Structure 1
Amino acid sequence: MKLSNYGEFPADIPVIAEDELFLYPFMISPLFLSDENNIDAATLAMEDSSLVIVCPTKPGEEGKRDFSSLYSAGVVGSIMRKVALPDGRVKVLFQGLARAQMLYEVQASPLIAKVDVLEATNISSLKIDAILEIVREKVRTLAGVSNYFPPDLLRTIEENHDHNRIIDLICSTVKLKKEQAYKLFVEIDTEKRFLLLIDYLIEEIEANKLQKEIRSKVHTHIEKVNKEYFLKEQLKQIQKELGTDTARDEEIEEYRKKLEAKKDKMSEDSYKEVSKQIDRFSRMHPDSSDASMTQTYLDWTLDIPFGEFAKKALKIKDVEDQLDKDHFSLEKPKKRIIEYFAVKELLELRGASSDSAGAILCFSGPPGVGKTSLANSIAVALKRPLVRIALGGLEDVNELRGHRRTYVGAMPGRITQGLIDAKKMNPVVVLDEIDKVSRSQRGDPTAALLEILDPEQNKEFRDYYLNFDIDLSKVIFIATANDLARIPAPLRDRMEFISISSYTPQEKLEIATRYLIPQELKKHGLKKSEVNISKPALKEIIHSYTREAGVRNLRRRLADISRKVALEMLQDSNINRVSVTVKNLKKFFDKSVFEIEKTTKIPVVGVVNGLAWTAVGGDILKIESIKIKGKGNLQLTGSLGEVMKESARIALSVVKTLIDDKKLKINLEKIPLTFKEKEDKIVIDASEIYKRYDLHIHVPDGATPKDGPSAGIALVSAIASILSDQKVRSEIAMTGEVSLSGDVLAIGGLKEKLIAAHKAAITKVLIPAKNYERDLEDIPQEVRDSLEIVGVSRIEEVLKEILIKEES
């Protein structure tokens, strides 16, 4: 088929836009048409038995079918066959006839353009023939470094004499960019086309040479790697048969390098011990159990951060600011902490050693008052890692000192592991619940703590697993405890105790407002504007829904509210804000706890308000007594400990003495007489009151064990009230121990007890005079303002305050 069969040019010809292929005149190619314009153009050409021009789209214009988005030149040819495909596309078989150029647009849809054929110039020339030989040489060179040209195509290029056909053949084979291909395609000067093609061929030859070189190097490297791998695997198998292994030699060498890197920072003993173990490991058979144990030892030991320290200089201002930021109130504990670090900073500034500056701090107090969080704040302020070691229930001394390596599964002690985790030799180590360490057949861990917490000894703390000494003098140890009485005396001697006592309701209110509410809202994905807890509601939560000295349960109650608010907001998208008030508080909580029952104002015979210290703060301890006809026996109930039972017996003896000395008035008319005594009109003595009655003393909440040396005056008051039939002032509470001679002795836990009295709406409290003189300044001002606190030194003063005398 020839172009001359289709009439003269220029002519109006339908245009097919091609996005991917770059066609040449000699090609017969299938085209897959999917858009309407191309399909309509092909249909029009088929119906009119006319030619069609296929033009490539410009880069970035793919998919567009307007005149401006197409290159102006393309291949004009005929459509030999057209087939509709099932997916909606149309497949046409296109035969290219000649290069042509669109002059201008004739019709937009389908696109028709005025087209003229591109006639080549400089076709027959000796110069062009010479250039053609150069082109053929470059093609042969490119064929040698690439797989572009199959033998048949090379033969065609060598034998063909149509210059432009040769150029088109080469261009269709070489991977040219669309811009390069079009530049060659549209050029009508054959000489220029050849020169352009030579430039492109030279570029392609260089690129393919480089690729071939890279491929060769990669292939060589892969062959080398594969060869080495194969040989190494063979060598491994041979060495395995012989009992040797080079990988193990490399591992041993790695251990030696690590040890040498730490040599200057280690003590001489530790270096010798680790070096000795590496030498032993190198001599062991790799499959022996000792080798595995020694390797584990080396892994642990070489992870110890010898000589690594947190670099931040100690500044008490940073400590003070961090404590104030994280904790409300706690003025005395914070002051003592700052004093502790002030000594260390001063020693550092003056170039002295601060290793043994002061005793180890121990925060003591009820749960939830902020003992551990104070240690966290110290670590943050000093920018040191925090290591928390929970000692609760610890009964194996090896947990602290490390297990000897003769045992299976031996490990370093928790102190050493803490240093490894912290990656520093001067972290802040919190020894939590130091009062709950237990003694067993495995040893006494408190004995190991004596060395750890003694600034004079912990410079050379020996871990049994490591078998060399570690310097713990740079570590800041902080212990926490609930009950100091459970800590052995030698261990108590190593520490300085900072008491963190109960919070008052007002302090809890401030803590909840400043810290707990914002923290819980953030944890539950709520915004401050979405939840409003009124001040009265917060007070009610503190008073009626929590039972604690600290704020842990208060945090849980606020978390309960946050969860319910989150659920409510998700279930109803119209809710943007939830208010918690006293009126709707029951919507968020099932029932109230009522921490301390408020006292009534009605005086009762034989019922006294005592004050008690518990592990969770202070509490009101009601003491009830009754008298039953009998022979003067004393019965005690309410899970009382030995100390309280002794206090009750002492109290009875004190009351008997008061009656005998006529310091306690007894109504003789109420003493029951026998028939004979009535007949004989015998006058009985006041002492008959405790001889003819049995006394039963009960402390309610019988399932809760109670003990301690502070209920003496309350027991005396209860017994005196029941024997003298005098009512007790119910608005008064008391605490204090009593001696046999009637002296009121000092007690501990005064702050917690007075806070409990304040919560129970007590108006007057009797305390030992010695406590009044020395401890009153520790009591929060809020509590002192709400209570009338009276110091008493004798039991007579107590009875004078507590008993209501009958009017004659």
Structure 2
Amino acid sequence: MKLSDYNAFPATIPIIVEDEIFLYPFMISPIFLSDDKNINAAAKALDENSLVMVCPAKEGKEGGRDFDSIYPAGVIGSIMRKVSLPDGRIKILFQGLARGKIIQKIGENPLTALVDVITSKPYNEIKLEALLEVLREKVRTLANVSSYFPPDLLKTIEENHEPNRIADLISSSIKLKKSDAYELFTEEDVEQRFMMLIDYITEEIEASKLQREIKTKVHSRIEKINKEYFLKEQLKQIQKELGVDTQREEEIEEYRRKLESKKRYMSEEAYKEIKKQIDRYARMHPESADANVLQNYLEWVLEIPFGKYSKKKLDINAVKKELDKDHYSLEKPKERIVEYFAVKELLELRGLKKSEGKGAILCFAGPPGVGKTSLANSIAKALKRPLVRIALGGLEDVSELRGHRRTYIGAMPGRIVQGIIDAKEMDPVMVLDEIDKVGRSFRGDPTSVLLEILDPEQNTHFRDYYLNFSIDLSNIIFIATANDISTIPAPLRDRMEFIFVSSYTPQEKFEIAKRYLIPQELKKHGLKRSELSISDAALQVIIEKYTREAGVRNLRRRIADIARKAAKELLENPEIKKISVTLKNLDKYLEKPVFEIETADKVPQVGVVNGLAWTAVGGDVLKIEAIKIKGKGMLQLTGSLGEVMKESARIALSVVKVMIDQRKLPIDESVIPKTSKERDEGIKVDPSEVYRRYDLHLHIPEGATPKDGPSAGITMATAISSILSERKVRSDIAMTGELTLTGRVLPIGGLKEKLIAAYKAKIKKVLIPKKNYDRDLDDIPKEVVDALEIIPVTRVEEVLKESLL
């Protein structure tokens, strides 16, 4: 197909705008049309059997389909084929025939214009031939340094003699900016066109040479690196074959250096053991199984901070200040802690620390949430020593503390040595948490290891199985914590001095919440003090009705509940600047109350007595109930009672029987069931018949809660006396104390928690054993002592005198 087959030029033909490629007259190229104007232009050309001109879009104006967005020149050609695609686009096969230029704009949709062919100016053939030879030489040079010209294209350029065709072929092969390509495309002077091409190719040759040089250098460098890597790997393999490993030698030398730097701080035994293992490791083949075990051992032992101690000297004033800052109340525990460190400071000042400074190990004992672990944190903070916490709850394996022997796979040092390594000092504060919950199994008894760890006479030479040498633990400040000391084995108890951290009174909880808990929770939840306030009355109700504990852990949780809801409310309602929690809106922030202790009944009852009990979460008031049923003097006990309480009940019944027999407990004849003969004949019945003709049922609610302990004797005796004599028990009185068969009242434990429980339950009068009254009353908070009438008792008769109406 030729240009002469169509109408003569200038001619009015449709214009197709091409955004991507720059077309040349010799090209047959597929073009994809999606724009309506382009599609209409192609349809018009096909309908009218006319030519079409493809114009390139100007740089930055791709997508435009008007005359301002296109260059006013392009390729005139014909549409050989048109295909409709499934996605709505049109594919045409376009054949370029000649260069053309727009003379006059005709229409916008589709774009049509009056177009003429670009003709070349006359030229000097000799000069042009010379330029063409230079151009071909440059093309050959560029072909050697780049991949722009494949051999068949080079052959076409060499054999072709049409100047414009040669220029178009070369232009289409090299990378040109669209503006430069357009300038070259529209140039009518062939000589100038060749000159421009020579300049462009010369620049491209230089750029290609530079790229090639850079690639060569990079490639050489990569080759060098790869060569070095392979040579090094070969050298390593050769060294291994010969039994020489320089990297391993460097590691061994590093181990020796570390050992020598710590030599003067460690015992001779430790130095010899580590040195022996380093020498053994150096002789060992690196691929053997024992090599890894030994290497792990050396890395562990050389991490032990031999010779590193806290630089801060003991100062009891700093300890006292830190304890007062972090803890409200707890006067006795804080005083005992300060005394403990006063002794250590005095020994240190007088140079007796190493020889004489072997004091007892402190153990904080008390219910959960009263601040045992936080006391240890405060001590570590005051002494500026690292704190190491070792949780002993459920620990059964002796190796966890003493370390595993190195014959076992995965062996490692015990927790004590690991704690020292983590602390990076030989004298940290080490908290042995939950020491009362250490277990015993076929793996051994960990308490026996704790005996050695905590005994000041033995812990200077504590032997860890993994280390295989003794280590001095005497500089560590051990602090144990426990909930119930009765479960700690007696030999271990003997090595510790117990500081009892008891329950808090409601007033103490109130102060702790105001001073510590509320500010801390506000900070944790991102709240400012000005954004949330809890009224004093609301806080007191939270303490009394929303928590059941000896400490303040649940109180902290309730405050956190309020803080979370407040944070959500502030975010959902930006107009709210402050949230105030009062008695009126407390139920909005907390769910229904959980009453901690049932308050005392207002009306006295027969067979119902308030008993005081100690539990793991503090004191509690338990109502002991008794009823009598016609029977033969049997005793039935319910309420999940332990063996000790069952024995207390049987003792109490025997004591009451003796009192009835001795007429110390008067029994009205009317309360004794009589036979018809006794009623008819007016026979007088012996008072002892009251316990022979009735079965007694003793119950302690709630039935699902297990109960045990030696402190309910006088309470059960009072309940039995009340039900048998049908005398009411004062409802505002509570009692605690164990009973002997002869009627003596024995002392009990947990008095502070029990009296606090009575105080919370609004009890007015409390009966306690006289020995407890004489020795323990100083430990009871003043507000509790002032609110209760505390009466000491020595015998059961005094108990009945005070309690029965």
TM-score normalised by L of structure 1? 0.72
Please report how far the alpha carbon of residue 402 of structure 1 lies from its aligned counterpart in structure 2 after TM superposition: 0.6
Closer, same or farther: CA 62–303 of 1 in aligned 2, 3 Å = farther
How far apart are the structure 2 equivalents of 1:317 and 1:95?
99
1:210 corresponding residue in structure 2: 213
Conservation of the 8 A alpha-carbon contact between 2:619 and 2:753:
yes
Closer, same or farther: CA 94–799 of 1 in aligned 2, 3 Å = closer
Closer, same or farther: CA 443–87 of 1 in aligned 2, 3 Å = closer
1:194 corresponds to 2:197: yes
Gaps of 5+ in 2: 567-578
Closer, same or farther: CA 23–665 of 1 in aligned 2, 3 Å = closer
Please report how far the alpha carbon of residue 446 of structure 1 lies from its aligned counterpart in structure 2 after TM superposition: 2.5
1:174 corresponds to 2:170: no
How far apart are the structure 2 equivalents of 1:13 and 1:674?
135
Please report how far the alpha carbon of residue 490 of structure 1 lies from its aligned counterpart in structure 2 after TM superposition: 5.1
Please report how far the alpha carbon of residue 605 of structure 1 lies from its aligned counterpart in structure 2 after TM superposition: 5.5
Please report how far the alpha carbon of residue 467 of structure 1 lies from its aligned counterpart in structure 2 after TM superposition: 1.9
Please report how far the alpha carbon of residue 167 of structure 1 lies from its aligned counterpart in structure 2 after TM superposition: 3.7
How far apart are the structure 1 equivalents of 2:287 and 2:749?
63
How far apart are the structure 2 equivalents of 1:338 and 1:127?
110
How far apart are the structure 1 equivalents of 2:317 and 2:122?
92
Aligned pair partner of 2:261 in 256, 259, 264 = 264
1:615 corresponding residue in structure 2: 616
- Identical pairs, percent: 56
Please report how far the alpha carbon of residue 748 of structure 1 lies from its aligned counterpart in structure 2 after TM superposition: 3.1
Closer, same or farther: CA 157–218 of 1 in aligned 2, 3 Å = farther
Please report how far the alpha carbon of residue 463 of structure 1 lies from its aligned counterpart in structure 2 after TM superposition: 1.8
How far apart are the structure 2 equivalents of 1:118 and 1:651?
130
1:284-331 residue CA offsets vs partner (Å, 9 max, x unmatched)? 456755445435534655666778999999999999999999x88565
2:571 corresponding residue in structure 1: none
1:389 corresponds to 2:385: no
Conservation of the 8 A alpha-carbon contact between 2:607 and 2:625:
yes
1:755-779 residue CA offsets vs partner (Å, 9 max, x unmatched)? 3223444222233566557655654
2:792 corresponding residue in structure 1: 792
1:151 corresponds to 2:151: yes
1:754 corresponding residue in structure 2: 755
Closer, same or farther: CA 281–186 of 1 in aligned 2, 3 Å = farther
How far apart are the structure 2 equivalents of 1:122 and 1:777?
126
How far apart are the structure 2 equivalents of 1:74 and 1:396?
89
2:573 corresponding residue in structure 1: none
Please report how far the alpha carbon of residue 13 of structure 1 lies from its aligned counterpart in structure 2 after TM superposition: 4.3
Which is worse superposed, 220-229 or 411-420? 220-229
Which is worse superposed, 613-622 or 258-267? 258-267
SS class of match (2:367): coil
Closer, same or farther: CA 272–145 of 1 in aligned 2, 3 Å = farther
Letter in structure 1 aligned against 2:18: E
2:94 corresponding residue in structure 1: 94
Please report how far the alpha carbon of residue 24 of structure 1 lies from its aligned counterpart in structure 2 after TM superposition: 2.3
Closer, same or farther: CA 625–109 of 1 in aligned 2, 3 Å = closer
SS class of match (2:171): helix
Please report how far the alpha carbon of residue 118 of structure 1 lies from its aligned counterpart in structure 2 after TM superposition: 5.0
Letter in structure 2 aligned against 1:41: A
Conservation of the 8 A alpha-carbon contact between 2:329 and 2:508:
no
Which is worse superposed, 606-615 or 368-377? 368-377
1:213-612 counterparts in 2 under 5 A?
213=216, 216-217=219-220, 220=223, 224=227, 250=247, 253-254=250-251, 257=254, 260=257, 264=261, 268=266, 273-284=273-284, 289-291=289-291, 293-298=293-298, 300-301=300-301, 331-332=330-331, 335=334, 339=338, 360-369=361-370, 371-372=372-373, 388-407=389-408, 409-418=410-419, 429-439=430-440, 442-453=443-454, 461-470=462-471, 477-489=478-490, 491-492=492-493, 494-504=495-505, 548-550=549-551, 596-604=597-605, 608-612=609-613
Please report how far the alpha carbon of residue 670 of structure 1 lies from its aligned counterpart in structure 2 after TM superposition: 8.3
1:62-73 counterparts in 2 under 5 A?
62-73=62-73
1:136 corresponds to 2:129: no
How far apart are the structure 2 equivalents of 1:558 and 1:49?
88
Letter in structure 2 aligned against 1:486: T
Closer, same or farther: CA 657–58 of 1 in aligned 2, 3 Å = same
Please report how far the alpha carbon of residue 197 of structure 1 lies from its aligned counterpart in structure 2 after TM superposition: 1.0
Conservation of the 8 A alpha-carbon contact between 2:608 and 2:624:
yes
How far apart are the structure 2 equivalents of 1:424 and 1:374?
21
Letter in structure 2 aligned against 1:401: R
Letter in structure 1 aligned against 2:82: K
1:209-242 residue CA offsets vs partner (Å, 9 max, x unmatched)? 1354157437736974896699699x69x97xx8
2:569 corresponding residue in structure 1: none
Closer, same or farther: CA 593–33 of 1 in aligned 2, 3 Å = closer
1:616-649 residue CA offsets vs partner (Å, 9 max, x unmatched)? 3212344567899999999999845559847975
Please report how far the alpha carbon of residue 790 of structure 1 lies from its aligned counterpart in structure 2 after TM superposition: 1.8
Closer, same or farther: CA 804–227 of 1 in aligned 2, 3 Å = closer
How far apart are the structure 2 equivalents of 1:539 and 1:353?
50
Please report how far the alpha carbon of residue 340 of structure 1 lies from its aligned counterpart in structure 2 after TM superposition: 8.8
How far apart are the structure 2 equivalents of 1:538 and 1:429?
35
Gaps of 5+ in 1: 566-576
Closer, same or farther: CA 216–671 of 1 in aligned 2, 3 Å = closer
Please report how far the alpha carbon of residue 684 of structure 1 lies from its aligned counterpart in structure 2 after TM superposition: 13
TM-score normalised by L of structure 2? 0.73
Which is worse superposed, 692-701 or 132-141? 692-701
Conservation of the 8 A alpha-carbon contact between 1:545 and 1:593:
yes
Letter in structure 2 aligned against 1:731: D
Please report how far the alpha carbon of residue 483 of structure 1 lies from its aligned counterpart in structure 2 after TM superposition: 0.8
Please report how far the alpha carbon of residue 96 of structure 1 lies from its aligned counterpart in structure 2 after TM superposition: 2.9
Please report how far the alpha carbon of residue 82 of structure 1 lies from its aligned counterpart in structure 2 after TM superposition: 3.1
Letter in structure 1 aligned against 2:261: D
Aligned Cα root-mean-square deviation (Å):
6.3
Closer, same or farther: CA 560–11 of 1 in aligned 2, 3 Å = same
Closer, same or farther: CA 104–353 of 1 in aligned 2, 3 Å = farther
Which is worse superposed, 706-715 or 14-23? 706-715
Closer, same or farther: CA 716–82 of 1 in aligned 2, 3 Å = closer
Conservation of the 8 A alpha-carbon contact between 1:611 and 1:618:
yes
Conservation of the 8 A alpha-carbon contact between 1:599 and 1:762:
yes
2:56 corresponding residue in structure 1: 56
Please report how far the alpha carbon of residue 485 of structure 1 lies from its aligned counterpart in structure 2 after TM superposition: 2.5
